[in-house]
Chain A
Amino acid sequence: MPLWQADTKLKAIPFDTGATMTANTAIPTSETIEHALRSVVDPEVGINIVDLGLVYAIEQEHRQITVTMTMTTPACPLGSMLQDEALAAVESVLPADWQAMVNLVFEPEWTPLRMSEAARTQLGW
């Protein structure tokens, strides 16, 4: 499963490849960021935001990681809370001199097809 879904409006900048991560000093890999984001779970359905297809893009520029995410609907009040949890999760795996940013967007609109195979299986697709 790709780290992020290809999208006509958002494009991830390839990560630097490099050293294996040790003790938050090495350059974070895309897998590291994704793994961290999988710790952010929708409390009602018990599925993480990556598998729910809420993570649109993960970008790196210099020493900043920017995550672009959405919610299933703009009417849901949990957006800011999950945004904060995503930020904390990414920060937890970054070196001390790196920064994280999480943007919450609602365009393009989320659709159920963005969910991962694992999530859809769990939900009976």
Chain B
Amino acid sequence: MSTDLPRPARLVLMMAAVATLLAGIVGGLLRLGWIIRAPADLAALHGPLMICGAFGTLIGLERAVAMRSRWVYAGPMLTLTGTAILFWLPQAGIGLMAGGAAVLLAACFILWQRHTHLFNLVLTIAAACWLTGLLVWCVGNEITPAVPWWLAFLTLTIAGERLELTRLLPPSAERLLYFRLIVLVLLGGLVFYGPTGWPQLFGMGLVLLAFWLMSEDVARRTLMLSGQSRYIAVCLLSGYVWLALGGAVMVFVDRNWLPGAPGYDASLHALMVGFVMSMVFGHAPIILPALTRLKLSYHDGFYLPLCLLHLSLVLRVAGDALADDLSRRLGGAGNALALLAFAATILHTLWRPHQQASLHTKGASNGA
């Protein structure tokens, strides 16, 4: 008998995560000056909304769907509830979000105990980074010190999942060795950043991870395929370029990585928009059906929002580099438009009548 959450409930969680993402986008546009009539808190909470509220919820939801155990859904539920009450009861909101992160940590730990592979350990460490960032925020009452921990959460989650897929490739002891070393550099960089504010070691870890991904990811092979497989590979490989650039800016541009410093906006958005959002653009067409059981067919129209994402980010980062505020603001607006265009592409694909049938579940059962 299935212990999974019913599909309507999963849909509600997904839609709530999307609403959080939209709120985060509004906060970003507020910061850039494109919107003036919106609660000021949205601007202040732009980072937590995007990273914790939206992505944290979605990653928690993915893990819950994978494990098909109802208790794991408490993770995204706590995260969403905490996000919602941030505006009125900030400490309580952070506490609930930390609860959501703790549930994800427990779920990943159980998966690691079940199959003690390196990729499962990395996913567990990633969840621990998320929780640590939330605790740093809660104790210090400042978001900035938590941001590198949240970047590590997203980066290591992606890295762990990509490491798992490299098992399809010919085995390589060097591949695993370099990966372990890179994770150590990243974690060391996190610890070093805390008391010093110096991001260089963490940034170097990101650059090294980017090169590892570009050389080892199965996307190098699937790029030669066609259709959706190639599209996913394009999203991944282009995202890795931004991962390298974001890390490089951390290494070479600013001694301290703080809001207002020349490289802060560029590196943060190279990582969050260029790297993380590229991953989302690539995998949403397969993850969304997995989470919601809605049928969604890929088509080459998905390349358009991806192109807009990258081009607008080039403009934004160029604006940061040249201290050109208008370019930075236009690029940021372009980032938001790309996300909205991607959402519109998804919705259009879902609403096409001949694609609307849900998948049958007659006779299907769990054996795990």
User: Which residues from B are CB-within-8-Å of A45?
Assistant: 165, 168, 218, 221-222, 229
CA gap between A78 and B293 in the complex, in Å: 10
B26 to chain A, nearest CB (A): 28
Give the residue of A75, A79, A104, A124 whose beta carbon is less than 8 angstroms from that of B164: A75
A115 to chain B, nearest CB (A): 7
Q: A103 to B365, Cβ gap below 8 A?
A: yes
The chain B residue with its CB closest to the CB of A46 is: B229
25 A/B residue pairs, CB under 8 Å, sorted by A: A43-B229, A44-B165, A44-B232, A44-B286, A45-B168, A45-B218, A72-B164, A73-B164, A74-B66, A75-B108, A75-B161, A77-B63, A77-B291, A80-B4, A80-B364, A81-B290, A81-B359, A84-B361, A87-B362, A100-B362, A100-B363, A101-B365, A103-B366, A124-B169, A124-B170
What 0/1 pattern do residues 98 to 125 of B give for CB contact below 8 A with A? 0000000000100100110101100100
Q: A75 to B168, Cβ gap below 8 A?
A: no
Q: B218 to A123, Cβ gap below 8 A?
A: yes
B59 to chain A, nearest CB (A): 10
User: Which residues from B are CB-within-8-Å of A112?
Assistant: 167-168, 171
**How many chain B residues have a CB neighbour from A under 8 Å?**
50
What 0/1 pattern do residues 55 to 83 of A give for CB contact below 8 A with B? 00000000000001000111111111101
Q: A91 to B367, Cβ gap below 8 A?
A: no
CA gap between A43 and B361 in the complex, in Å: 20
User: Which residues from B are CB-within-8-Å of A72?
Assistant: 164-165, 167-168
User: Which residues from A are CB-within-8-Å of B62?
Assistant: 77
A-contacting residues of B (Cβ < 8 Å)?
Answer: 4, 62-63, 65-68, 108, 111, 114-115, 117, 119-120, 123, 161, 164-165, 167-171, 218, 221-222, 225, 227-229, 232, 283, 285-287, 289-291, 293, 298, 359-368
User: Which residues from B are CB-within-8-Å of A44?
Assistant: 165, 218, 222, 229, 232, 283, 286
CA gap between A103 and B364 in the complex, in Å: 7
